[in-house]
Structure 1
Amino acid sequence: MMLIDQLQQRQADGKPVRVGLIGAGKFGSMYLSQARRTPGIHLIGIADLSPERARNALARVGWSPEQYAARSFDDAVRNQTTYIQDDAQALISNGQVDVIIDATGSPAAGIRHALLCCEHRKHIIMVNVEADVLAGPLLAQKAAEAGIVYTMAYGDQPALIVELVDWARTSGFEVVCAGKGTKYLPAYHTSTPDTVWGYYGFTEEQVGSGDFNAQMFNSFLDGTKSALEMAAVSNATGLTPAATGLAFPPCGVDDLPTLLRPRDIGGILSHSGTVEVISSLERDERPVYRDLRWGVYVTFKGHSDYVRDCFSQYGVRTDPTGEYASLYRPYHMIGLELGISVAQAALLGRATGATNGFRGDVVATAKRDLQAGEKLDGEGGHRVYGKLMPAVDSLAMGGLPIGLAHGVVLNRPVAAGQPVRWSDVTADLSIQAVRVRKEMEEVFQATLR
């Protein structure tokens, strides 16, 4: 049976999949717009630090007030409505919830929620890539021990990339490279919340009229979000990052198989079996022809003359040798597609992509010369951006993960472009996220030597 058939059967049987959402921001709102239209799904509750924001989100995406008027979880079940409150732990621990969605974007919150889901045996969809990269390899182990599904969010680019990698390998192809597109120029690495709107081309009037979070937007621009997403893909697929991190080469879809192949045959890759993000801008700021700014791709290899002939016969775009080919998806629809993860986790006990090792990490890197006594302001901030690197290199240097580079004070200077290390700050072991990350480093240290 297809997923929709199973959901319709759950609806007919009066046993819908009961979902709890934590965080009613943009991603959460996009899912809310589709959840009420999906048979066999009951959004039993929303936990948000601002319940009023959650109510506004529901109204904005088309829900009527009666649909979210529940006064308790029991009331929500009786009347097939949604209960809104601010206590995530209460939502996770409720015995009537089947699946939890963490859409908070906070690494510390995501770790806390994942561990609570392990405790209360609730499948968790980790929209929160920040938490997944900070501690996902350990959280996935704990989830497996608890017998729950820990999964990436379908619709977000990492899960869609993992799907393409799985398609290629299951079809018998060797995966050479996988990744996504974005808008990138080298200068963006030093962008701050004060300069971000100029790079995006937004006017003061546009920014003033909408819900524009400068630091969040800047995390996409300065390369941090791309690094996080590629680390997540590495940890879910076994593809390993280049030692130098992401190169962000300008590339259109027609050039994917030619550019994204190893250097020794004319491409740019340091090795086969890696990740890369391609830019929709040439270095002189001209737009790339047929760019992939919103999409994802996989480059793969045909190992025989017969396969290469098939590529040619069926119009597959290849490199000049006919050996390397690519498949891409031009768009991703983020939270609008999240229902796929909900259904697979609840009905099939399957993840739409999940970490299975520690191969990629994202280390805080100085945007400018930093002085002792400066307080780091985290992802998308004024002082550091996140750089992708192999996990083995991150652990060897003692790199400070970008997910913990918020609110900590430097005890020594760090030059522009250099990584920040654990030894450059004083870690607060009373913070759960710090303890969990330290535990993960200890668990994986031996395996990465």
Structure 2
Amino acid sequence: MVIQSSTPQRATPIRVLLTGANGGYGRTLLDQLRRLPDMTATQLVDPDVAGVTRMLRELGVADDLIAVPASADETAAAIAAGKTAVVADASAIDWASVEVLVEATGRVEAGHAYADTALDSGVHVVMVSKEIESVAGVALSAKAREKGLRYLPGDGDQPANLLRLTAWVLEVGFDIVALGKSSEYDLAFDPATGVVNQNGVTIDAPGLADLLELGDDLAATVAARSAQVAALKRSAAADYCEMNVVSLYTGAISDVEGMHYPVARPDELADLYAAREDGGLIGRTGSIDVFSMLRLPGEASFAGGVFVIVRTGDAVTWDILAGKGHVVSRDGKYACIYWPYHFMGVETPITIAAAVDDTSVIAEPRQHTVLAARAPEALEPGTTFRVEGHHHEIAGVAPVLIDPDGGEIAPYYLLSGARLVSGVAAGDLVRISDLADVPAAALAAYRSGLALGV
């Protein structure tokens, strides 16, 4: 017996344009699209044309089905001939030969321009670049609606997955106390050696062996665990950015500016993210947060998955569910509903189809919070900011989630390429008025989104 999808096949495949193609995300999406007769990646945009071409070959695409056109007309001809067009920038995109843009550059100025042009060209947008979403997502979503198009966060990354899980949780009638995700890298602890491994970085933390149970004082246990792994960098700008995106679509805000980031095991989440009056960490219903997963040898990872903490009801009902292995707090008042995965581009075809078919359950975003930049130390005029590294972080400032404060506070990723024209004192936030050389179109989009209110 061959198990097959019951979804009706489309008369013509959805043509996908992928920007920021040469990376781990792009590869996972391209590999998955090759399994789907209803979708095809016809245009791939990345400055590293040679790298994208090499990746296509590794994925089994024959050389005679790969084209490197230099103009939009050449791209259109290549697509008509059944080839995949690999181009370096926007100048060679044929917008008439695409139904959905998947934007994955991670760069605010370029990515915003791609998304904005796509909407002007009648093309739906699936946004994978959370950096762009955090600055311009509200405005781009509003523009899409005005044009009868869809603008959606892409499944496979934590924000969209958490939004989909949250939609289900609300649809079945739960009251949400907290929602969030695990950080990208687990804390893999071996009690036999006392060593913690976080993505290849190891430290000695023998004291964790005595902290594997929460005990009666949850806050004390969390603090002691954090102290044991203080030498590791556990938080990342990417985490804050993703939670900011979730905030845009749900209205949830962080309980504390830096989020709690507890070192935790999955079966503890319903206790840790309970309301403070019940012994948990949460002081505000509907808080977003991130935890660092503590994992022992042989235990499965949370895999950067997502969770929602809900209030339970009938004690007998939840005793039955706890007996089936569901995560319920020790007092029975809270439960954790979670998806232990985010499969990157493997899941994004779900969003591509939802964009074309208008079947998304995601709400309209509003700028409920801003991902801002706080200066741990004083910054001098003339300081230039650069987004660098795997986690797209900016040296000299720390990401924080706060109220937009009328739009005067600079979004973290608007600092990309900008320079300070006035100093910023230690502990202060960077404000828009402190900056020059800010990406003008992205700034205008941010202000346009703010003007829509909450």
- TM bin, normalised by shorter chain, reads 0.7 to 0.9
Residues 82 and 59 of structure 1, relative CA distance in 2, 3 Å threshold = same
Give the conservation status (yes or no) of the 8 Å contact 2:366–2:449.
no
Quote the Cα distance in structure 2 between the aligned partners of 1:175 and 1:367: 33
Q: Percent identity?
A: 29
Match of 1:297 in 2: 307
Structure 1 residue aligned with 2:193: none
Counterpart secondary structure, 1:104: coil
1:123-179 Cα shifts (integer Å, max 9, x gaps): 111011100010111211111111111111111111111111111111111121111
| Distance in 1 between residues matched to 2:398 and 2:303, nearest whole Å | 20
- Consecutive unaligned residues of structure 1, counting only runs of 5 or more, are 186-197, 204-219
Q: Which residue of 2 aligns with 1:253?
A: 266
Taking a change above 3 Å as real, the CA distance of residues 312 and 51 of structure 1, as seen in their structure-2 partners, is: closer
- Contact 2:265–2:294 (CA under 8 A) maintained in structure 1: no
Once the two structures are superposed, residues 231-258 of structure 1 have per-residue CA deviations (whole angstroms, 9 ceiling, x without a partner) of 1111112322225241211111000100
Structure 1 position 25 matched with structure 2 position 30: no
Cα distance in 1 for partners of 2:4, 2:436 equals 49
Query: Which has the higher mean CA deviation after the structures are superposed, 148-157 or 239-248?
Result: 239-248
User: Are the counterparts in 1 of residues 372 and 399 from structure 2 also a CA contact under 8 Å?
Assistant: yes
Change in Cα spacing, 1:154 to 1:301, as seen in structure 2 (3 Å) is: same
The 5 A counterparts of 1:171-320 are 171-182=172-183, 201=200, 222-280=235-293, 292=302, 294-305=304-315, 307-312=317-322, 314-320=324-330
Kindly report which structure 2 residues correspond to 1:11-410, keeping only aligned pairs within 5 A, or say none: 13=11, 15-26=12-23, 27-69=25-67, 72-88=74-90, 90-91=92-93, 94-182=95-183, 201=200, 222-280=235-293, 292=302, 294-305=304-315, 307-312=317-322, 314-346=324-356, 348-351=357-360, 353=362, 355-378=364-387, 379-389=392-402, 393-396=403-406, 398-410=408-420
Provide the aligned C-alpha RMSD in A: 3.0
With 155-164 and 415-424 compared, the bigger mean Cα shift is at 415-424
Q: Deviations over 1:364-403 (max 9, x none)?
A: 12243322222222441321232122xxx22258221111
Distance in structure 2 (CA, Å) of the matches to 1:290 and 1:36: 29
| Structure (1/2) with the larger strand percentage | 2
CA distance in 2, matches of 1:418, 1:51: 41
CA distance in 2, matches of 1:353, 1:290: 30
Q: How many residue pairs end up in the alignment? A: 403
Relative to structure 2, which stretch is displaced further, 290-299 or 122-131?
290-299
Query: Which AA in structure 2 matches 1:432?
Result: A
Indicate how the Cα distance of structure 1 residues 67 and 337 shifts in structure 2: closer, same or farther if over 3 A, else same: farther
SS at match of 1:280: strand
Deviations 1:336-359 (A, max 9, x none): 22222122222x223374652221
- 1:413 pairs, out of 423, 433, 446, with 423
**Is the contact between residue 179 and residue 298 of structure 1 (CA under 8 Å) also seen in structure 2?**
yes
Name the CA distance, whole Å, in 1 between partners of 2:198 and 2:155.
Answer: 29
Secondary structure of 2:42's aligned partner: strand
Question: 2:315–2:332: 8 Å Cα contact kept in structure 1?
Answer: no
Consecutive unaligned residues in structure 2, runs of 5 or more: 187-196, 203-232
Match of 1:188 in 2: none
How far apart, CA to CA, are the structure 1 residues paired with 2:5 and 2:99? Answer: 18
Q: Is the 8 A contact 1:366 1:385 kept in 2?
A: yes
Letter in 2 for 1:294: G
Q: 1:426 deviation in Å?
A: 3.4
Give secondary structure in 2 for the equivalent of 1:272: coil
